[in-house]
Amino acid sequence: EAGVTQFPSHSVIEKGQTVTLRCDPISGHDNLYWYRRVMGKEIKFLLHFVKESKQDESGMPNNRFLAERTGGTYSTLKVQPAELEDSGVYFCASSQSTEHMVNEQFFGPGTRLTVL
Amino acid sequence: RKEVEQDPGPFNVPEGATVAFNCTYSNSASQSFFWYRQDCRKEPKLLMSVYSSGNEDGRFTAQLNRASQYISLLIRDSKLSDSATYLCVVAPAGNNRKLIWGLGTSLAVNP
């Protein structure tokens, strides 16, 4: 079974440019999460989709970040315009949907974003 | 104060040693607890969940002390392949899918 995949694996852009990250969750996983790790800091939650709906977007840093999951399959995270502090590794994770349990979140390999 | 605190290490131990990692969390209402493992430049992977009664998986033992808001991970008979960063992770009550992460503890097992 294929795991969570992310594209691209690396992205180097200049400040002010736009970047779109893509995540394909494990097939059948309704829950999709985005996290970010800035160098030297903890992994931080960004947002959580259940199917195509945003369940929790409390971790989104500001309105330069836009996440979508049209159709409830893959998700995109767009940063526009990118700033230097947006550099880091963006992880996507997915999990099955179970009402009363915290299911394991499976992580993708991450996209390493560098903003110059 | 950080929500989840860990000693970043690094811990350098010889093969076969027993090593313990500790973690404290600030939200007393936290509901679920995990240890994740992350190899260099790889994604985090779930090592084990941590239950109130404590749990064991082979050479790994996890303990939870809710009164002290403290979680531990014990690795016995360390292998070279155990070298990685170990991340303490907490899910808060009411939103048990939003994971709160510690900075991680780096372990190097030496031959």
A9: left (phi over 0), alpha (psi -120 to 50) or beta: alpha
Contact B98 A48 (CB under 8 A): yes
The CA–CA distances, whole Å, from B27 to B51, B67, B77, B100 equal: 17, 11, 33, 10
Please say whether the beta carbons of B105 and B24 come within 8 A. Answer: no
CA B90: distance to chain centroid?
10
Q: How many Å lie between the alpha carbon of B76 and the closest alpha carbon of chain A?
A: 24
Please say whether the beta carbons of A96 and A30 come within 8 A. Answer: yes
pLDDT tens digits, one per residue of A24-74 = 999 999 999 999 999 999 999 999 999 999 999 999 999 999 999 988 899
Q: Count chain A–chain B contacts defined by CB atoms under 8 A.
A: 47
The shortest CB-CB distance from B102 to any of A31, A35, A42 is to A42
pLDDT tens digits, one per residue of B10-60 = 999 999 999 999 999 999 988 889 999 999 999 999 999 998 888 999 999
Contact residues, chain A, for B91 at CB < 8 Å: 102
What pLDDT shows up at residue A103? Answer: 73
Query: Can you tell me the distance from the alpha carbon of A109 to that of B44, in angstroms, rounded to the nearest whole number?
Result: 8
